[in-house]
Amino acid sequence: MVLIAPFARAQNPAPSSSLDPRVATEQYLASVPAEARARSDAYFEGGYWLQLWNFLFGSGVLLALLHTGWSRRMREAAGRLTRYRPLQVAAYWIMFFAATTVIAFPLTVYADFVREHQYGLSTQTFGAWFGDQLKGLAIGLVVGALALMGLYRVLRAAPRTWWVWGAAFLMLLQVAGNVLYPVFIAPIFNTYTRLEDPALRDPILRMARANGLNATDVWQVDASRQTTRISANVSGVLGTERITLNDNLLKRCSPACVQAVMAHEIGHYVMNHVFDLLLAFGVLVTFGFALAGWAFERLRLRYQSHWGVTGIADPAGLPLLVLILSTFMFVLTPVRNTIIRSNEYEADVFGLNAARQPDGFAEAALKLGEYRKLDPSPWEEWIFYDHPGGRTRIYTAMRWKAETSAATSPQGER
């Protein structure tokens, strides 16, 4: 695992060209008005607290479902609906998911609608936003029911080793999600059309093919109906791969910036980051399930009279299982972020070498800095950032520019 540090603060040897990456980085950062920097900092730093409140609120809801007996009564209601155990799990999930969604709705409105409008990041009316929420609820009900039916089948079949087989099952679900999402799920929320402009499309396709991605189309998505953020991705696996960029990227960024962003996304695909992350998080989930296997039974026996949970395979114990796993993942937030941030940095370097657009890459970093703090402290970047900070990314681009310029200069050729 590569630990990414804020390079602009490091005492590196003097660059071998007339361009000083540190000076160039400071110039880029200074180009952002102080008011915009303050707004971005406030938004991102507020997100630190929002993560904590989401965790505490969610934990409180899960404990309330257990201590009030709601979870037990939902299990009993599911049992009255059907005698078929997988369908009992599905019925319980529908009640559980609907209840937790309704309870958390005020916080969801604040975090995903009010706050996004407060900082100028959302373009949706409340009606349009609520419509997307209903779509997500419907998908969550169906997908969650199917996933839990499979997971509880594992719990019943292997009560002692379920934590191993359960983690393997979740990894298979993740692969299935990566295959199905770009084709069946994403179009439910947005319209995808082929990018027809050859001046933008052809350089992206040439870059993709030059790096082993046999792409014939580039897709654009109408993300501006929801947000002002720029974004792009190479999604899908096993034949569903798709190069996609959102319309904000096309409208708000220069061609050099578009190429730099797309080269970064192609880098994720070429370096198999989707499988790297699948393996890394599979290991974390396995450890989390092992912890849950140890803690679940001890807590269940201690509070048996209040909870009425009969064992690990009892759907009424789902709030406890989710509570243990969410606590484990919350504590490991710096580890999870570092795993993702390391892959993002690798894709940054790949993208610089593939697109050869360092200033376009710096432009993209400034655009992302509209909602990510541009110059975090080292501890902030380590704990809260799942991407390199703006200063780190701009410095990486300027260092690449300085060193490649030196390598191609007459002095470098000698």
Q: With bands split at pLDDT 50, 70 and 90, how would you rate the model's confidence at 80?
A: very high
Q: With bands split at pLDDT 50, 70 and 90, how would you rate the model's confidence at 9?
A: very low
pLDDT tens digits along 319-377: 999 999 999 999 999 999 999 999 999 999 999 999 999 999 999 999 999 999 999 99
Angstrom distance (rounded) from CA 402 to CA 399: 5
In the beta sheet, which residues pair with residue 221?
A: 192, 246
- Nearest in space to 134 (alpha carbons), one of 103, 163, 102, 158: 102
In percent, the amount of the chain with pLDDT more than 90 equals 85
Task: Return all residues near 36 (Cβ < 8 A) that are at least 6 apart.
Answer: 370
Q: Is 6 helix (H, G, I), strand (E, B) or coil?
A: coil
Dihedral Cα 383, 319, 139, 155, nearest 10 deg: 100
Residue 382 pLDDT exceeds 90: yes
- On whether the pTM is more than 0.75, the answer is yes
Task: Return all residues near 66 (Cβ < 8 A) that are at least 6 apart.
Answer: 303, 306, 307, 309, 319, 320
Token couple for 318: 């789902």
* CB count in 10 Å sphere of residue 155: 22
Residue whose tokens read 């009424």: 316
Q: Is 227 helix (H, G, I), strand (E, B) or coil?
A: strand
Residue 190: Cβ-neighbour burial (10 angstroms; 0-12, 13-18, 19+): middle
Query: What is the C-alpha end-to-end distance of the chain, expressed in Å?
Result: 36
Token couple for 300: 């269940």
The mean pLDDT of 266-293, rounded to a whole number, is: 94
Query: Can you say how many angstroms the Cα of residue 136 is from the centroid of all Cα atoms in its chain?
Result: 16
Q: For 121-197, where are the alpha helices, taking DSSP H only? A: 126-157, 162-180, 186-189
Q: For 356-377, where are the alpha helices, taking DSSP H only? A: 358-368
